Amino acid sequence: MNKQVMVIDVRTREEFAGGHVAGSINIPLGELAGELTAIRDMAQPLILCCASGGRSGQAAAFLKANGIDCTNGGSWLQVNALSRAWQS
């Protein structure tokens, strides 16, 4: 199955540079509020990830409170493993 998703990594730019899900974009948690318009225009569904799932959980709650449908994917390593299955 080929499922199109948008992965947003909310870790810091330094963490993202150290490894990330192929095709994901980096919007650090602290910058999320300033990117709401851009995020609303992104392909759906949105999957959020970070190092362990804590920051992406905060990000998901914030986006949902602002009317954006998204899912906390947890660790970027978990999302990376799943994304390989989506691509096949």
DSSP secondary structure of 6-54: EEEE-S-HHHHHT---TT-EE--GGGGGGGHHHHHTS-SSEEEEESSSH
Cα(58)–Cα(11) distance, rounded to whole angstroms? 12
Per the CB < 8 A criterion, the answer to whether 59 and 29 are in contact is yes
Fold designation for 6-87: Oxidized Rhodanese; domain 1 (3.40.250)
Does the reported pTM lie above 0.95? no
pLDDT digits (tens, 9 = 90+) for 40-82: 999 878 999 999 999 999 999 999 999 999 999 999 999 998 8
Cα separation, 42 vs 38, in Å, equals 7
Classify the C-alpha dihedral 51-68-45-28 as positive or negative: negative
Confidence of residue 83 (pLDDT cuts 50, 70, 90): confident
